[in-house]
Chain A
Amino acid sequence: MKKLILAFILFAGAAVSDDISVTSAVDKNVLNSGDRIILQVTVSGNSSPALKVPQMNDFNVYSGGQRTQSSFSFVNGRMSSSTSVIYDYTLNPKGPGKFTIPSFTVESGGKVFKSAPIPVEVVKGAAPPPQVARQDGAAPGTGGNDLFVQVNLDKNRVYVNEPVTMTFGFYNRVSLAGQPQYTPPDTTGFWKEDLPPQINSSRNGYNVVELKTALFPASPGQYTVGTASLVCAVPVRGQGDDFFGGFFGGTRNVRLDSKPVLVTVLPLPEEGKTADFSGTVGKFGISAAVDKRDAKTNDAVTLTVSISGTGNVKSIAEPKLLLSDEFKKYETVSDLNINKGNYEVKGSKVFKTVLVPKKAGRLTIPSVKYTYFDPADKRYRTISSDPIILNVAQGPKEESNYANLTSMPQAEGVKVFDSGIRFIKPAYRYTLGRALLYKSPLYLIITLLPFFAWISVLGSRKLKIRREENAVCFKASRAYSNALKSLKPLGTQAQKFTREEYLGRLEAAYAEYIGNKINRPPAGLSVDEISKLLSGKIKEPGLASSAVGVFEELHFQRYAPSGSENKDLNELLSLIKEQINKLEKAGL
Chain B
Amino acid sequence: MNQTAKILILLLLSSFTAFADQGFDAANKLYESGEYSEAAAAYGTVISSGNACAEAYYNLGNACLKDKKVGLAILNYEKALRITPRDADIKYNLEFARSFIKDNAGEDAAAKFLAGSYGFLTLNELCVLFSAAFALLMGALIFRVYRKNEFSYWLVFGVSLLFAIILLFFGARIRDNEINNPAIVVALSVEAKSEPKDSNPAAFTLPEGKKVFLTSRRDFDKKTGQKYAEVLLKGENIKGWVTLDSLAEIK
Contact = CB atoms under 8 A, between A and B. Distances in A.
Is the A/B pair a real complex? yes
Interface of A: 419-438, 440-443, 446-447, 449-451, 453-454, 457-458, 461
Contacts of A440: 3-4, 7
A130 to B, nearest CB: 96
Contact of A454 (B8, B59, B142): B142
Interface in B100-154: 122-124, 127-128, 130-131, 134-135, 137-139, 141-142, 145-146
A257 B20 CA distance: 94
A443 B131 contact: yes
Given A431-B84, A442-B4, 20 more contacts: A419-B96, A421-B92, A421-B97, A424-B32, A424-B62, A428-B19, A429-B14, A429-B17, A429-B55, A430-B13, A430-B19, A434-B82, A434-B251, A435-B7, A437-B4, A437-B124, A437-B127, A442-B8, A443-B8, A454-B145
B244 interface: no
A450 B139 contact: yes
Given A431-B84, A453-B138, A424 B28 contact: yes
Interface string B82-93: 111000010011
Contacts of B31: 424
A429 B20 CA distance: 8
Nearest to B61: A421
B53 A429 contact: yes
Given A438-B123, A442-B5, A453-B138, A428 B145 contact: no
A433 B18 contact: no
Contacts of B24: 427-428
B8 to A, nearest CB: 8
B70 to A, nearest CB: 11
In this complex, the member of B4, B5, B89, B141 whose beta carbon has the largest number of chain A beta carbons within 10 angstroms is B4
Nearest to A421: B93
B96 A421 contact: yes
Given A426-B20, A443-B131, A454 B138 contact: yes
Contacts of A451: 134, 138
Nearest to A446: B131
Contacts of B127: 436-438, 443
Contacts of A438: 123-124, 127, 174
A376 B153 CA distance: 103
A437 B63 CA distance: 30
A458 B142 CA distance: 7
Interface of B: 1, 3-5, 7-8, 10-11, 13-15, 17-20, 24, 28, 31-32, 51-56, 58-59, 62-63, 65-66, 79, 82-84, 89, 92-93, 96-97, 122-124, 127-128, 130-131, 134-135, 137-139, 141-142, 145-146, 174, 177, 251
A432 B174 contact: no
A547 to B, nearest CB: 44
Given A436-B124, A437-B124, A457-B142, A428 B54 contact: yes
Contact of A427 (B7, B19, B82, B145): B19
A143 B21 CA distance: 97
Contacts of B3: 435, 440
A443 B55 contact: no
Nearest to A460: B145
A450 B135 contact: yes
B interface SS class: helix
Contact of A437 (B65, B84, B123, B145): B123
Nearest to B5: A442
A153 B143 CA distance: 116
Contacts of B137: 450
Contacts of A424: 28, 31-32, 58-59, 62-63
Contacts of A443: 4, 8, 127, 131
Contacts of A426: 20, 28
Contacts of A420: 96
A447 B55 contact: no
27 contacts: A421-B65, A421-B93, A421-B96, A422-B93, A424-B31, A424-B63, A425-B89, A428-B18, A428-B19, A428-B24, A429-B14, A429-B54, A430-B13, A430-B17, A431-B10, A432-B11, A435-B7, A436-B124, A437-B4, A437-B8, A437-B127, A438-B127, A438-B174, A443-B8, A443-B127, A450-B139, A461-B145
Nearest to B80: A425
A171 B224 CA distance: 101
B167 to A, nearest CB: 12
A424 B63 CA distance: 9
B10 A427 contact: no
Nearest to B24: A428
A308 B65 CA distance: 45
A423 B130 CA distance: 35
A433 B53 contact: yes
A150 to B, nearest CB: 67
B54 A431 contact: yes
Contacts of B92: 421-422
A434 B19 CA distance: 18
Contacts of A434: 52, 79, 82-83, 251
Contacts of B52: 433-434
A74 B243 CA distance: 91
Contacts of B82: 434
Nearest to A432: B124
Nearest to A435: B7
Nearest to B1: A442
In this complex, the member of B62, B130, B138, B174 whose beta carbon has the largest number of chain A beta carbons within 10 angstroms is B138
Contacts of B15: 429
B55 A425 contact: yes
A423 to B, nearest CB: 8
Contacts of B8: 437, 442-443
Contacts of A437: 4, 7-8, 11, 123-124, 127-128
Contacts of A423: 62
- The 10 A-B pairs at the shortest CB distance, nearest first, are namely A450-B138, A428-B55, A440-B4, A437-B127, A433-B52, A427-B20, A428-B53, A424-B59, A442-B4, A450-B135
A356 B131 CA distance: 64
Contacts of A449: 135
A430 B142 contact: no
Contacts of A454: 138, 141-142, 145
Nearest to A454: B138
In this complex, the member of B14, B66, B127 whose beta carbon has the largest number of chain A beta carbons within 10 angstroms is B127
A562 to B, nearest CB: 60
A458 B63 CA distance: 59
A436 B122 CA distance: 10
A431 B62 CA distance: 20
B148 to A, nearest CB: 10
A568 B108 CA distance: 101
Given A428-B18, A432-B10, A436-B123, A447 B134 contact: yes
